[in-house]
Amino acid sequence: MGIDLRGVKDSFLEKLFPEDRKAAKIQTYSEAELKAIYRKEKWMHDQYAQDCNRRGIPYIHPSMARPSTIAVGHPDYTLLRRTLSIEFKVPGCRLSPEQQKRIKYLEAAQNTVVVAHSLEEAIEATKEYFGLV
Reported as a single tens digit per residue, the pLDDT across 47-82 is 999 999 999 999 999 999 888 898 888 899 999 999
Sign of CA dihedral 71, 68, 35, 24: negative
Q: What is the per-residue pLDDT for 60?
A: 95
Residue-wise pLDDT for 20-35, tens only, equals 777 777 777 788 888 8
- In sequence order, what are the residues at sequence separation of 6 or more whose Cβ sits closer than 8 angstroms to the Cβ of residue 56? 108, 109
Rounded CA-CA distance 21/15 in Å is 10
Q: What are phi and psi of 38, to 5 degrees?
A: -60, -45
Residue 5: predicted pLDDT: 66
Q: What are phi and psi of 113, to 5 degrees?
A: -120, 130
pTM, rounded to two decimals: 0.71
Q: Which of 110, 61, 63, 53 is nearest to 85 (CA)?
A: 110
Which distant-in-sequence residues (6+ apart) come within 8 Å of 14 by Cβ? 28
